[in-house]
Amino acid sequence: KHKMARFQRIFSQGQGTDTPLMDTAEHIHISSLALLKMLKHGRAGVPMEVMGLMLGDFVDDYTVKVVDVFAMPQSGTGVAVEAVDHAFQTKMLEMLRQTGRPEMVVGWYHSHPGFGCWLSNVDVQTQHNFEQLNQRAVAVVIDPVQSVRGKVVIDAFRTIDPQAMVLGKEPRQTTSNVGHLNKSSIQALIHGLNRHYYSISISYRKNELEERMLLNLYKKKWTDSLLVRDFEKQTEENENTVGSMLDLSKSYITAVEEEQKLSAEKLAIARVGKVDAKKHLEMDISSLMSENINDCLCSNVDRIIFRQILQKAAVTNYGNVDKDKPMA
Protein backbone atom coordinates (compact mmCIF):
# COMPACT_ATOMS: atom_id res chain seq x y z
CA LYS A 1 0.00 0.00 0.00
CA HIS A 2 2.84 2.40 0.84
CA LYS A 3 4.64 1.54 -2.41
CA MET A 4 1.47 2.18 -4.42
CA ALA A 5 1.00 5.59 -2.80
CA ARG A 6 4.62 6.42 -3.49
CA PHE A 7 4.27 5.50 -7.18
CA GLN A 8 1.09 7.57 -7.51
CA ARG A 9 2.84 10.57 -5.95
CA ILE A 10 5.80 10.23 -8.33
CA PHE A 11 3.62 9.89 -11.43
CA SER A 12 1.41 12.81 -10.39
CA GLN A 13 4.49 15.04 -10.25
CA GLY A 14 6.14 13.68 -13.38
CA GLN A 15 6.11 14.87 -16.94
CA GLY A 16 3.65 12.28 -18.07
CA THR A 17 0.67 14.16 -16.61
CA ASP A 18 -1.51 16.40 -18.76
CA THR A 19 -2.17 18.97 -16.08
CA PRO A 20 -2.45 22.41 -17.74
CA LEU A 21 0.18 25.00 -16.89
CA MET A 22 -0.55 28.70 -16.86
CA ASP A 23 1.16 30.62 -19.66
CA THR A 24 3.50 32.94 -17.77
CA ALA A 25 5.64 33.93 -20.76
CA GLU A 26 6.29 37.50 -21.76
CA HIS A 27 5.77 39.09 -25.14
CA ILE A 28 7.51 42.13 -26.61
CA HIS A 29 5.65 44.52 -28.90
CA ILE A 30 8.05 46.65 -30.97
CA SER A 31 6.68 49.64 -32.87
CA SER A 32 7.51 50.21 -36.53
CA LEU A 33 9.36 53.41 -35.67
CA ALA A 34 11.64 51.62 -33.19
CA LEU A 35 12.28 48.75 -35.61
CA LEU A 36 13.23 51.11 -38.45
CA LYS A 37 15.55 53.09 -36.19
CA MET A 38 17.31 49.97 -34.93
CA LEU A 39 17.74 48.59 -38.44
CA LYS A 40 18.99 51.90 -39.86
CA HIS A 41 21.40 52.38 -36.95
CA GLY A 42 22.71 48.84 -37.35
CA ARG A 43 23.29 49.21 -41.09
CA ALA A 44 25.04 52.55 -40.61
CA GLY A 45 27.53 50.89 -38.26
CA VAL A 46 28.47 47.89 -40.43
CA PRO A 47 30.96 46.22 -39.99
CA MET A 48 31.11 47.49 -36.38
CA GLU A 49 28.58 46.69 -33.67
CA VAL A 50 26.32 49.51 -32.45
CA MET A 51 24.07 49.84 -29.42
CA GLY A 52 21.30 51.99 -28.01
CA LEU A 53 18.50 52.11 -25.45
CA MET A 54 14.84 51.19 -25.89
CA LEU A 55 12.00 53.33 -24.56
CA GLY A 56 8.59 51.97 -23.68
CA ASP A 57 6.41 50.63 -20.90
CA PHE A 58 5.80 47.43 -18.99
CA VAL A 59 2.12 47.12 -19.83
CA ASP A 60 1.49 44.23 -17.44
CA ASP A 61 3.29 41.18 -16.09
CA TYR A 62 3.28 39.56 -19.53
CA THR A 63 3.78 42.40 -22.03
CA VAL A 64 6.65 44.79 -22.77
CA LYS A 65 5.98 47.61 -25.21
CA VAL A 66 8.84 49.33 -27.10
CA VAL A 67 7.82 52.60 -28.77
CA ASP A 68 11.14 54.30 -29.56
CA VAL A 69 14.93 53.90 -29.38
CA PHE A 70 17.96 56.16 -29.35
CA ALA A 71 21.67 55.54 -29.88
CA MET A 72 24.28 55.72 -27.14
CA PRO A 73 27.90 56.95 -27.22
CA GLN A 74 29.78 53.69 -27.56
CA SER A 75 33.07 51.97 -28.14
CA GLY A 76 32.53 49.11 -30.56
CA THR A 77 34.42 46.56 -32.62
CA GLY A 78 33.30 43.87 -35.02
CA VAL A 79 32.51 41.48 -32.15
CA ALA A 80 31.71 43.63 -29.07
CA VAL A 81 30.26 47.00 -28.07
CA GLU A 82 30.14 48.93 -24.78
CA ALA A 83 28.67 52.27 -23.69
CA VAL A 84 31.23 54.93 -22.79
CA ASP A 85 29.09 57.85 -21.53
CA HIS A 86 26.59 56.74 -18.89
CA ALA A 87 25.54 60.33 -18.10
CA PHE A 88 24.25 60.67 -21.67
CA GLN A 89 21.26 58.45 -20.82
CA THR A 90 19.99 60.82 -18.11
CA LYS A 91 20.43 63.89 -20.31
CA MET A 92 18.73 62.21 -23.26
CA LEU A 93 15.73 61.12 -21.18
CA GLU A 94 15.31 64.66 -19.84
CA MET A 95 15.31 66.08 -23.38
CA LEU A 96 12.86 63.42 -24.55
CA ARG A 97 10.45 64.27 -21.73
CA GLN A 98 10.51 67.88 -22.89
CA THR A 99 9.43 66.73 -26.37
CA GLY A 100 6.50 64.69 -25.01
CA ARG A 101 8.21 61.30 -24.73
CA PRO A 102 7.69 60.26 -21.08
CA GLU A 103 8.41 56.52 -21.49
CA MET A 104 11.00 54.73 -19.41
CA VAL A 105 13.98 52.59 -20.45
CA VAL A 106 12.84 48.98 -20.87
CA GLY A 107 16.11 47.56 -22.16
CA TRP A 108 18.84 47.95 -24.73
CA TYR A 109 19.60 46.81 -28.24
CA HIS A 110 22.75 46.15 -30.21
CA SER A 111 23.69 44.75 -33.59
CA HIS A 112 25.48 41.59 -34.70
CA PRO A 113 26.44 42.40 -38.31
CA GLY A 114 26.41 39.13 -40.20
CA PHE A 115 26.68 36.55 -37.42
CA GLY A 116 23.16 36.04 -36.09
CA CYS A 117 21.30 36.84 -32.90
CA TRP A 118 22.80 35.63 -29.61
CA LEU A 119 24.53 37.07 -26.55
CA SER A 120 28.27 36.95 -26.00
CA ASN A 121 29.89 36.94 -22.56
CA VAL A 122 30.20 40.74 -22.70
CA ASP A 123 26.55 41.04 -23.74
CA VAL A 124 25.44 38.77 -20.90
CA GLN A 125 27.34 40.93 -18.41
CA THR A 126 25.81 44.11 -19.88
CA GLN A 127 22.34 42.59 -19.69
CA HIS A 128 23.00 41.53 -16.10
CA ASN A 129 23.84 45.17 -15.24
CA PHE A 130 20.55 46.30 -16.80
CA GLU A 131 18.61 43.66 -14.87
CA GLN A 132 20.11 44.91 -11.61
CA LEU A 133 18.33 48.21 -12.32
CA ASN A 134 15.16 46.50 -13.55
CA GLN A 135 14.58 42.75 -13.41
CA ARG A 136 12.41 42.84 -16.53
CA ALA A 137 14.93 44.66 -18.74
CA VAL A 138 15.26 43.14 -22.21
CA ALA A 139 18.24 42.75 -24.55
CA VAL A 140 17.38 42.92 -28.27
CA VAL A 141 19.87 41.74 -30.89
CA ILE A 142 19.43 42.64 -34.57
CA ASP A 143 21.44 41.48 -37.57
CA PRO A 144 21.40 44.24 -40.22
CA VAL A 145 23.40 42.19 -42.74
CA GLN A 146 21.19 39.08 -42.81
CA SER A 147 18.00 41.17 -42.66
CA VAL A 148 16.31 41.53 -46.04
CA ARG A 149 13.10 43.16 -47.22
CA GLY A 150 10.15 41.44 -45.57
CA LYS A 151 12.24 39.61 -42.97
CA VAL A 152 14.20 41.17 -40.12
CA VAL A 153 16.65 38.92 -38.25
CA ILE A 154 15.99 39.96 -34.65
CA ASP A 155 15.59 38.33 -31.25
CA ALA A 156 15.12 39.35 -27.61
CA PHE A 157 16.80 37.80 -24.58
CA ARG A 158 16.95 37.90 -20.80
CA THR A 159 19.52 36.21 -18.56
CA ILE A 160 18.83 33.17 -16.40
CA ASP A 161 19.60 33.50 -12.72
CA PRO A 162 22.25 30.85 -11.92
CA GLN A 163 20.99 30.53 -8.32
CA ALA A 164 17.53 29.70 -9.61
CA MET A 165 19.02 27.05 -11.91
CA VAL A 166 20.82 25.47 -8.95
CA LEU A 167 17.53 25.30 -7.05
CA GLY A 168 15.87 23.68 -10.05
CA LYS A 169 13.65 26.63 -10.97
CA GLU A 170 13.05 27.13 -14.67
CA PRO A 171 12.88 30.56 -16.33
CA ARG A 172 9.33 31.74 -16.84
CA GLN A 173 9.63 31.58 -20.60
CA THR A 174 9.71 27.76 -20.57
CA THR A 175 5.96 27.64 -19.89
CA SER A 176 5.12 29.73 -22.95
CA ASN A 177 2.59 28.57 -25.50
CA VAL A 178 4.04 30.80 -28.23
CA GLY A 179 7.59 31.56 -27.14
CA HIS A 180 9.08 28.38 -28.59
CA LEU A 181 7.37 28.53 -31.96
CA ASN A 182 10.44 30.35 -33.30
CA LYS A 183 13.15 27.77 -33.80
CA SER A 184 16.41 28.69 -32.09
CA SER A 185 19.49 28.93 -34.28
CA ILE A 186 22.44 26.59 -33.76
CA GLN A 187 24.73 29.59 -33.19
CA ALA A 188 22.56 30.80 -30.30
CA LEU A 189 22.46 27.33 -28.72
CA ILE A 190 26.26 27.07 -28.96
CA HIS A 191 26.69 30.48 -27.32
CA GLY A 192 24.63 29.70 -24.23
CA LEU A 193 20.96 29.98 -25.18
CA ASN A 194 18.76 28.23 -22.57
CA ARG A 195 21.81 27.93 -20.32
CA HIS A 196 22.80 31.52 -19.55
CA TYR A 197 19.86 33.35 -21.15
CA TYR A 198 16.51 32.61 -22.75
CA SER A 199 14.64 34.00 -25.72
CA ILE A 200 11.44 36.06 -25.67
CA SER A 201 8.97 36.19 -28.55
CA ILE A 202 8.64 39.46 -30.49
CA SER A 203 5.79 40.99 -32.47
CA TYR A 204 5.46 44.25 -34.35
CA ARG A 205 2.64 46.72 -33.81
CA LYS A 206 1.80 49.90 -35.70
CA ASN A 207 -0.89 52.48 -35.12
CA GLU A 208 -2.70 54.53 -37.75
CA LEU A 209 -0.12 57.33 -37.72
CA GLU A 210 2.80 54.92 -38.16
CA GLU A 211 0.97 53.15 -40.98
CA ARG A 212 0.55 56.45 -42.83
CA MET A 213 4.22 57.25 -42.21
CA LEU A 214 5.32 53.89 -43.68
CA LEU A 215 3.09 54.33 -46.73
CA ASN A 216 4.68 57.72 -47.43
CA LEU A 217 8.22 56.52 -46.76
CA TYR A 218 9.10 55.54 -50.35
CA LYS A 219 6.18 57.24 -52.04
CA LYS A 220 7.15 58.94 -55.31
CA LYS A 221 5.75 62.28 -56.40
CA TRP A 222 4.73 63.13 -59.95
CA THR A 223 7.55 65.65 -60.14
CA ASP A 224 10.11 62.83 -59.73
CA SER A 225 9.37 61.67 -63.27
CA LEU A 226 10.43 65.10 -64.61
CA LEU A 227 13.94 64.95 -63.15
CA VAL A 228 16.66 64.89 -65.81
CA ARG A 229 19.56 62.57 -65.11
CA ASP A 230 23.17 63.49 -65.68
CA PHE A 231 24.07 62.86 -69.34
CA GLU A 232 27.42 61.18 -68.62
CA LYS A 233 25.89 58.83 -66.02
CA GLN A 234 23.03 58.05 -68.39
CA THR A 235 25.47 57.19 -71.18
CA GLU A 236 27.51 54.95 -68.89
CA GLU A 237 24.40 53.12 -67.65
CA ASN A 238 23.21 52.62 -71.23
CA GLU A 239 26.56 51.14 -72.23
CA ASN A 240 26.55 48.78 -69.24
CA THR A 241 22.97 47.70 -69.95
CA VAL A 242 23.68 47.06 -73.63
CA GLY A 243 26.76 45.04 -72.69
CA SER A 244 24.69 42.98 -70.27
CA MET A 245 22.05 42.45 -72.95
CA LEU A 246 24.74 41.16 -75.33
CA ASP A 247 25.89 38.56 -72.80
CA LEU A 248 22.30 37.59 -72.03
CA SER A 249 21.55 37.19 -75.74
CA LYS A 250 24.45 34.75 -76.11
CA SER A 251 23.23 32.83 -73.06
CA TYR A 252 19.70 32.75 -74.46
CA ILE A 253 20.93 31.36 -77.81
CA THR A 254 22.81 28.64 -75.93
CA ALA A 255 19.67 27.85 -73.90
CA VAL A 256 17.57 27.52 -77.09
CA GLU A 257 20.13 25.11 -78.57
CA GLU A 258 20.04 23.03 -75.37
CA GLU A 259 16.24 22.80 -75.59
CA GLN A 260 16.56 21.09 -78.98
CA LYS A 261 19.20 18.61 -77.81
CA LEU A 262 18.20 17.67 -74.24
CA SER A 263 15.04 16.09 -72.90
CA ALA A 264 12.72 17.93 -70.51
CA GLU A 265 14.10 16.19 -67.40
CA LYS A 266 17.76 16.72 -68.33
CA LEU A 267 17.01 20.31 -69.27
CA ALA A 268 15.40 21.01 -65.88
CA ILE A 269 18.47 19.57 -64.13
CA ALA A 270 20.89 21.49 -66.34
CA ARG A 271 19.18 24.84 -65.58
CA VAL A 272 19.26 24.48 -61.79
CA GLY A 273 21.02 27.49 -60.27
CA LYS A 274 21.47 29.27 -63.62
CA VAL A 275 20.22 32.72 -64.58
CA ASP A 276 17.08 32.86 -66.70
CA ALA A 277 18.53 34.74 -69.68
CA LYS A 278 15.16 35.36 -71.36
CA LYS A 279 13.61 36.89 -68.26
CA HIS A 280 16.58 39.16 -67.52
CA LEU A 281 16.80 40.17 -71.17
CA GLU A 282 13.15 41.28 -71.17
CA MET A 283 13.71 43.25 -67.97
CA ASP A 284 16.81 45.01 -69.35
CA ILE A 285 15.05 45.93 -72.60
CA SER A 286 12.03 47.32 -70.76
CA SER A 287 14.22 49.29 -68.35
CA LEU A 288 16.46 50.67 -71.11
CA MET A 289 13.56 51.80 -73.30
CA SER A 290 11.48 53.35 -70.51
CA GLU A 291 14.39 55.26 -68.96
CA ASN A 292 15.64 56.68 -72.26
CA ILE A 293 12.16 57.67 -73.41
CA ASN A 294 11.56 59.37 -70.06
CA ASP A 295 14.91 61.18 -70.26
CA CYS A 296 14.19 62.40 -73.81
CA LEU A 297 10.75 63.70 -72.86
CA CYS A 298 12.06 65.40 -69.71
CA SER A 299 14.95 67.04 -71.54
CA ASN A 300 12.63 68.34 -74.30
CA VAL A 301 10.11 69.68 -71.80
CA ASP A 302 12.92 71.25 -69.81
CA ARG A 303 14.46 72.81 -72.91
CA ILE A 304 11.19 74.21 -74.27
CA ILE A 305 9.98 75.63 -70.95
CA PHE A 306 13.29 77.23 -70.05
CA ARG A 307 13.71 78.63 -73.56
CA GLN A 308 10.36 80.39 -73.28
CA ILE A 309 11.25 81.70 -69.83
CA LEU A 310 14.61 82.99 -71.10
CA GLN A 311 13.00 84.61 -74.12
CA LYS A 312 10.42 86.39 -71.96
CA ALA A 313 13.13 87.49 -69.56
CA ALA A 314 15.24 88.81 -72.43
CA VAL A 315 12.30 90.77 -73.88
CA THR A 316 11.49 92.18 -70.46
CA ASN A 317 15.08 93.22 -69.80
CA TYR A 318 15.38 94.75 -73.28
CA GLY A 319 12.26 96.85 -72.69
CA ASN A 320 13.57 98.04 -69.33
CA VAL A 321 16.90 99.01 -70.93
CA ASP A 322 15.13 101.06 -73.59
CA LYS A 323 13.12 102.89 -70.94
CA ASP A 324 16.24 103.73 -68.94
CA LYS A 325 18.01 105.30 -71.96
CA PRO A 326 17.97 109.15 -71.91
CA MET A 327 15.98 110.81 -74.62
CA ALA A 328 18.09 112.59 -77.29
The pLDDT, as a whole number, for residue 15 is 47
The pLDDT, as a whole number, for residue 69 is 93
- Residue 325 clears pLDDT 60, i.e. is over it: no
Max mean pLDDT among 150-159, 169-178, 179-188, 223-232 falls in: 150-159
Alpha-helical runs (H) found in the chain: 2-13, 32-44, 87-98, 121-133, 162-166, 186-190, 208-215, 231-261, 264-270, 277-324
Q: How far are the Cα atoms of 42, 45, 49, 97 from residue 92, in angstroms, in the given order?
A: 20, 21, 21, 9
CB 39 within 8 A of CB 190: no
Flag the least confident range among 73-82, 189-198, 265-274, 310-319.
310-319
Residue 48 carries which DSSP code? S
How sure is the predictor about 168, in pLDDT bands with cuts at 50, 70 and 90?
A: low
The pLDDT, as a whole number, for residue 20 is 54
- Residue 19 clears pLDDT 60, i.e. is over it: no
The predicted model gives 309-322 an average pLDDT of: 67
The predicted model gives 59-67 an average pLDDT of: 88
The predicted model gives 243-266 an average pLDDT of: 86
Q: Model's pTM, two decimal places?
A: 0.63
- Residue 229 clears pLDDT 90, i.e. is over it: no
Max mean pLDDT among 105-119, 143-157, 210-224, 282-296 falls in: 105-119
CB 151 within 8 A of CB 160: no
The pLDDT, as a whole number, for residue 234 is 85
- Residue 318 clears pLDDT 70, i.e. is over it: no
| Residues 145, 113: Cα–Cα separation, whole Å | 5
CA 176 to chain centre: 26
CB 49 within 8 A of CB 111: yes
The pLDDT, as a whole number, for residue 76 is 77
Flag the least confident range among 29-38, 203-212, 222-231.
222-231
The predicted model gives 168-192 an average pLDDT of: 69
**Average pLDDT in the chain:** 80
The pLDDT, as a whole number, for residue 50 is 92
Burial letters 204-217, b for 16+ CB under 10 A, else e: eeeeeebeeeeeee
List pLDDT tens digits, range 96-144: 888 888 889 999 999 999 888 999 999 999 999 999 988 899 999 999 9
The predicted model gives 157-164 an average pLDDT of: 84
